[in-house]
């Protein structure tokens, strides 16, 4: 373990830091010390890499956690590379941006970390637009929170979930997932698991069955799905028919495919984010292999 940590430290220390990026990092550190309420976003993959470099080498707490991570060729760790808080009488914002380190593939890390930075940048810009619109309409209070959690971490797979909660009287939660093959250094997509597009209908039909069964077993559960012999009380177009080709998903620790829907996608907000575990036997003949889904 000690030798692997030394090698990882040497890899990060060997990354060249252009002068302009070094100055950018210094300005960011200075802005934190003076507690200036600003949100400087880094728009390039190189900038994301530098932030990651600073986190690894400047944080004793992060360095300590490295010794607690299981080793699989490279140390893989999820860290916070950007955190922003803003609170006043009109807004309440708390954004945490994740970063991935130690995959052994710098290009993969830069691509993912830059994507996460850009996601929160876009999220914040959209939030400010909503605040401006609300002020024009007479004012109000808006809240925005983003964060992340690791939902699967095995010898082969790491799934990172990023969540967003927007509140304006009521709240709505959405989630996005990245499932990473640690061994082959790739991000797994839903279509990549299957031989053709038939999985869309097969998984959709299975989810409908699960919805109907859950409502039968528990009357407090409500899904927007057609039920034979029952007239729907919402428009037909609002009922769940099929998953998207690139539907939100992850693979759990047991190797089962889990399909996820954001709040209000297929059910009332009281149901929150809903997930359905797909029995492998229902999709077995469509899978390319059982390397991931078992």
Q: What are the tens digits of pLDDT across the range 35-74?
A: 333 344 433 333 433 343 334 333 434 433 433 444 444 5
Cβ contacts of 57 within 8 Å, gap of 6 or more: 9, 12, 13
Q: What are the tens digits of pLDDT across the range 231-271?
A: 778 888 899 999 999 999 999 999 999 999 999 999 999 99
pLDDT of residue 13: 41
Least confident of 20-34, 80-94, 185-199: 20-34
Q: What are the tens digits of pLDDT across the range 136-147?
A: 888 788 999 999
Looking at the predicted structure, is the pLDDT value of residue 124 above 80? yes
Per the model's pLDDT, the better-predicted residue between 134 and 84 turns out to be: 84
DSSP 34-53: TT--------SHHHHHHHHH
Whole-model pTM: value is: 0.74
Per the model's pLDDT, the better-predicted residue between 102 and 31 turns out to be: 102
Q: In this structure, are strands 77-87 and 91-101 parallel, antiparallel, or unpaired?
A: antiparallel
Closest CA to 204 of 245, 165, 170: 245
Decide: residue 158, CB within 10 A, 0-12 exposed, 13-18 middle, 19+ buried: buried
What would the mean pLDDT of 213-221 be, rounded to a whole number?
Answer: 95
pLDDT of residue 84: 94
């Amino acid at each position: 373990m000690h030798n692997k940590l030394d090698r990882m430290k040497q890899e990060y220390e060997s990354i060249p830091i252009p002068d302009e990026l070094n100055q950018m990092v210094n300005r960011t550190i200075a802005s934190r010390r003076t507690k200036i309420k600003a949100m400087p976003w880094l728009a390039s993959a190189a900038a994301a890499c530098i932030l990651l470099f600073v986190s690894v080498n400047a944080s004793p707490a992060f360095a300590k956690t490295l010794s607690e991570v299981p080793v699989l060729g490279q140390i893989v760790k999820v860290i916070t590379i950007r955190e922003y808080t803003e609170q006043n009488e009109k807004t309440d914002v708390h954004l945490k941006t994740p970063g991935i380190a130690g995959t052994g593939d710098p290009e993969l890390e830069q691509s993912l970390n830059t994507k996460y930075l850009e996601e929160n940048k876009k999220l914040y810009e959209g939030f400010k637009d909503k605040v401006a619109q609300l002020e024009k309409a007479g004012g109000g209070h808006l809240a925005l929170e983003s964060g992340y959690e690791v939902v699967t971490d095995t010898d082969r797979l790491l799934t990172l979930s990023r969540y967003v909660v927007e509140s304006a009287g009521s709240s709505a939660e959405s989630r996005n997932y990245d499932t990473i093959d640690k061994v082959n250094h790739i991000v797994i997509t839903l279509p990549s698991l299957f031989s053709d597009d038939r999985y869309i209908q097969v998984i959709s039909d299975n989810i409908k069955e699960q919805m109907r069964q859950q409502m039968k077993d528990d009357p407090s559960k409500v899904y927007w799905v057609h039920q034979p012999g029952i007239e729907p009380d919402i428009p037909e177009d609002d009922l769940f028919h099929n998953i998207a080709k690139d539907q939100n998903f992850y693979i759990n620790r047991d190797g089962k495919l889990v399909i996820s829907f954001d709040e209000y996608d297929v059910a009332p907000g009281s149901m929150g984010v809903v997930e359905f575990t797909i029995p492998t036997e229902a999709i077995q003949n469509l899978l390319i292999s059982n390397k991931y889904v078992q």
